[in-house]
Each structure stands twice: as C-alpha cells, then as structure tokens.
Amino acid sequence: MSGGASIPDSAREPPLLELARELRAVAQTGLAFAQDRFDRERYERIREIAAALSGALTGLPARALLDAFAGEIGYATPKVDVRAAAFRDGRVLLVRELSDGRWALPGGWADVNQTPAEAAVRELREESGFEARAVKLAAVHDYRRHHRPRHLDSIYKIFFVCEITGGAARPSIETSAVDFFGRQALPPLSAGRTTAAQIERMFEHALDPGLPTDFD
C-alpha cells in the first residue's frame, strides 16, 4: 500500500489517536464548506491541534503532519485500498514489497474512474505481471480492526478473489519478487498491507465461493 503514514505497532490503538483522526476530519470537512473567515480560522486551528496531537502520539513531526493534512481537501472520507487474492494449484499469489522486503497480496490505493474490481485487477497486473479477472468480493475491512501497525488515515480495505487468465511472474517498480505460497508456508508478511488471518480467509473464500462477503 502506497501513501499515507503508518505508526508504530502497539497492542491497542490509543483512544486519543481516534480522536485526533476525527478532529482532522472535522477540520477538513469544515474548511470544505465554511464561508465565514472566522469559522475558517477555527477549523484551521482544529487542524493544527489534530496534527500536534497526532505527532505527540506517534513521534512523527507535527509540522510535516500539518502540511500533509492541509493537502487533503473536500469532505473527509476513508481512503480505499484494494487487494487481489489469486490462486494456482492451491497456493496464493504474493508479491514482495520493495519498501519493507516483506510479502503481501497484490494491491494498493484505488484509482479514480476505476471500479474497485478494476483497481484490484490493475494492481495485480502491475505488481505481479499476471492478468486476471475478479470473481468474488470476499471482504471489506476497516483497517483499524485488522491491522498493525496503526495508520494515521481512516482506510477501507476491499479484497477480491481473482482468477488468473494469463501473463507471467514479473516484479515491478514497487515489488522485488513474485511467487505462490501454500496455506501453511507463508513468508514474512507486510502486516500493514496483508495479515495472515486475511490470507487464510481468502483461502476459505476460494475453496467455498458460497461464503458471504465479510465486512467490518
């Protein structure tokens, strides 16, 4: 997953981080609609507080966070990350991320003017070299409930089971290796992108297409 800022692992997300994230959203949405100069100043101050609080909780520079927050405009909504789970001979396709040297389901931020399924198939092609088609929406997860390390953004992760239709293994500008792994032989995972529990659930969906879509 590209973009955004992950923060150090912990057993539980600090409640204050949730409040800082909400303050940031309130400020961004307020600035999108406020017309009064004094209201805008108040929302800008709320954004500064959100950046300072986020920095204090994560150790990241408050100034850099404020600059990043200011770059987000319009009504504040969660970001969307898509993941593609493709299988061959009972093994799952994973890619090794250049950013941390660990493995994940192919995926990343959804692009404008693409459906979620189109985005997942594109990410799979770009990161692994394989062509595929999405055959099932398997899960929609709230990042906060499933992942470590924590993340400053609010994120929805959308998982598709995909069928490989062509192509061949080929690393990309974001990945250094492409391979298939058995259910009980997963490599070290890039936990902010894909967890072992999520991969296990994708195996279950692939084996039983009648399973309902997971959510939250």
Backbone angles phi, psi at 128, to 5 degrees: -120, -20
Percent of the chain residues topping a pLDDT of 90: 86
Confidence of residue 201 (pLDDT cuts 50, 70, 90): very high
pLDDT of amino acid 149: 60
Nearest-5° Cα angle at 99, 195 to 160: 40
Nearest-5° Cα angle at 14, 8 to 15: 155
The set of residues, in sequence order, having a beta carbon less than 8 Å from that of 148 and lying 6+ positions away, is 9, 10, 191, 192
Report the Cα–Cα distance between both ends of the chain, in Å, rounded.
19
pLDDT of amino acid 12: 62
Q: Say yes or no to pLDDT of 91 above 60.
A: yes
The model's pTM: 0.85
133-145 pLDDT, tens digit per residue, is: 999 999 999 998 8
Q: Do residues 51 and 62 touch, judged by C-beta distance below 8 A? A: yes
